[in-house]
């Protein structure tokens, strides 16, 4: 007995795909809903990764613009636990460190409050501090003036002030001008400028800045710097950071705190990443649920289409070809869901990033990984139903009406 000529013909890949799409074509709503489950999972994961990447890109852009070479020196505490002060010479000593490109400072004018006018009760200080500022401060920190001008050698001798971004909001001042005056320590100061927010020096946002000389003359300022700002060669920031404390206060280097404000922003990002991990996990759960949905759809599909399976077997389909048909259907369902989810997730990322005014970043690995994951899920979800379909005895399948 020969079996020559009884090798089953291979199906063309196009035909496998076409046969796999039969279930999708005949039951479009069910196909749509089970794909939707996958799509939601993938969309959740892609948008979580996308939004976190966009926020990261925004942070990088911000750090690029602000620079990471800003170091600040502030007095810490003495061994006794009292508030320490910086020595008078600290600014000039710090300026002698080689890689330092610019130095500036502010000094807090203690017990002085700012009011919009003299009708405001004294207790309503709005939490605004008064800082004496060097004229070099604005360029050292790299903050822009939203309205008016920055202090110069002349205006820092006269009762003129530049308000931080939040200070202006709290006082209800929209524009700087010669007629806009605020009451600082009982004296009328002209608002000559309003700053943009300063992400690297948020303490300026809630301050009213006045010139160093006028603070000493009008506001009983003791002339002591409370924060020294330095910009150094970006390649040598670490070395500068190591010596900065000892240089600012050689006698008590332990009483000095040196910090790098850009690190704080980076730390915020790291905190955000932990949250991203959690959301990603939730997305994975959604994807898993979607996969279970596809598996369920496939099991029902096989049950409903027993007669079709019997017919195909009688037409000469091998077990493998029946298996391939249902695997293809499952793969189509989940991959369509994955593609839809990738588009949806990218859309959500783009929308959210646009709303936040961030650059839109959807990492290719997230999209590719998501679609790859759906292929895996599709094969897993389809495997059992496909094997069941292929093991169905043709006569039993045909007996089903």
Partner 1 sequence: MIALEGVTKIYSGGVAALAGVSLTIRRGELAAIVGPSGSGKSTMLHVVGTLDRPTAGRVRIDGHDVAELSDANLSALRARRIGFVFQQFHLAGGTSALDNVADGLLYTGLRQSQRRKRAAEALERVGLGPRMHHEPHELSGGEKQRVAIARAVAGEPALVLADEPTGALDSVSGAGVMDLLRQLNAEGTTVVIITHDHAIADSLPRQVRMLDGRIVEDSARPRTEVPA
Residue 9 touching partner 1 (CB under 8 A): yes
Taking the least distance from each CB to partner 1, the nearer of 14 and 96 is 14
Distance CA 244, CA 99 (A): 11
Note whether 29 binds partner 1 by CB under 8 A.
no
Alpha-carbon span 394 to 389, nearest angstrom = 10
Structure tokens at 192: 């000559």
H or E element in which residue 174 lies: none
Residue 17 is a binding residue for partner 1 (CB under 8 A)? no
77 contacts partner 1 (rule: CB under 8 A):
no
Alpha carbons 148 and 92: distance in angstroms, whole number = 30
Sort strands 187-195 and 160-163 into parallel, antiparallel or unpaired.
Answer: parallel
Window contacting partner 1 (CB under 8 A); options: 11-19, 33-41, 68-76, 258-266:
11-19
- Residue number with CB closer to partner 1 (175 or 391): 391
DSSP class of 89: T
Smallest distance, Å, CB 5 to partner 1?
8
Residues 371-390 that bind partner 1 (CB under 8 A): none
Q: Are 90 and 228 in contact (CB under 8 A)?
A: yes
Helix (H) or strand (E) holding 147: strand 145-148
Q: Which residues contact residue 235 at a Cβ distance below 8 angstroms, ignoring those fewer than 6 apart?
A: none
What's the closest the beta carbon of residue 311 comes to partner 1, in angstroms? 4
Assess 8 for contact with partner 1 (CB under 8 A).
yes
Q: Which of 10, 61, 304, 356 binds partner 1 (CB under 8 A)?
A: 10
Tokens found for residue 214: 């006028």
Residues 30-52 as b/e (b if ≥16 CB within 10 A, e otherwise) read ebeebbbbbbbbbbbbbbbbbbb
Q: Which of residues 310-339 bind partner 1 (CB under 8 A)?
A: 310-321
Report in angstroms how near the CB of residue 8 gets to partner 1 at its nearest. Answer: 4
**308 binding partner 1? (CB under 8 A):** yes
DSSP 8-state symbol, 306: H
Among 303, 307, 372, 375, binds partner 1 (CB under 8 A): 307
Q: Does 268 bind partner 1 (CB under 8 A)?
A: no
CA dist., res. 223 & res. 106, Å (int): 9
- Examine residue 280 and tell whether it contacts partner 1 (CB under 8 A): no
Residues binding partner 1 (CB under 8 A)? 1, 3, 5-12, 14-15, 19, 22, 25-26, 307-308, 310-321, 393-395, 398, 401
């Amino acid at each position: 007995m020969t079996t020559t000529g009884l090798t089953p013909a291979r199906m063309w890949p196009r035909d496998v795909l076409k046969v796999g799409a039969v279930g999708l074509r005949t039951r479009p709503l069910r196909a749509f809903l089970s794909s939707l489950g996958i799509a939601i999972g993938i969309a959740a994961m892609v948008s979580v990764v996308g939004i976190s990447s966009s926020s990261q890109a925004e942070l990088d852009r911000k750090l690029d613009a602000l620079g990471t070479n800003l170091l600040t020196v502030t007095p810490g505490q003495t061994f006794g636990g009292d508030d320490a002060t910086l020595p008078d010479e600290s600014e000039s000593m710090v300026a002698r460190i080689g890689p330092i490109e610019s130095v500036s400072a502010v000094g807090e004018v203690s017990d002085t409050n700012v009011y919009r006018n003299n009708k405001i009760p004294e207790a309503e200080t709005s939490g605004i501090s008064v800082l004496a500022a060097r004229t070099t401060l604005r360029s050292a920190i790299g903050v822009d003036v939203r309205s008016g001008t920055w202090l110069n050698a002349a205006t820092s001798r006269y009762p003129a002030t530049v308000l931080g971004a939040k200070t202006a909001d709290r006082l209800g001042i929209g524009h700087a001008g010669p007629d806009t005056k605020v009451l600082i320590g009982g004296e009328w100061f002209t608002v000559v400028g309003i700053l943009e927010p300063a992400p690297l020096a948020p303490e300026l946002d809630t301050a009213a800045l006045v010139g160093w000389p006028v603070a000493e003359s009008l506001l009983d300022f003791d002339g002591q710097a409370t924060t020294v700002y330095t910009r150094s060669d970006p390649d040598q920031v670490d070395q500068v950071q190591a010596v900065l404390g000892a240089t600012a206060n050689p006698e008590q280097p332990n009483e000095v705190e040196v910090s790098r404000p850009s690190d704080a922003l980076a730390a915020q990002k790291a905190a955000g990443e932990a949250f991203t991990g959690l959301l990603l996990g939730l997305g994975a759960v959604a994807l898993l649920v979607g996969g279970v949905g596809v598996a369920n759809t496939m099991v029902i599909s096989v049950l409903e289409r027993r007669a079709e399976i019997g017919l195909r077997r009688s037409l000469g389909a091998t077990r493998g070809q029946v298996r391939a048909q249902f695997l293809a259907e499952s793969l189509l369902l989940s991959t369509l869901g994955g593609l839809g989810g990738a588009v949806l997730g990218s859309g959500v990322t783009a929308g959210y990033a646009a709303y936040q005014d961030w650059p839109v970043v959807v990492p290719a690995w997230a999209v590719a990984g998501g679609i790859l994951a759906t292929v895996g899920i599709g094969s897993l979800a389809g495997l059992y139903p496909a094997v069941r379909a292929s093991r169905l005895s043709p006569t039993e399948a045909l007996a089903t009406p």
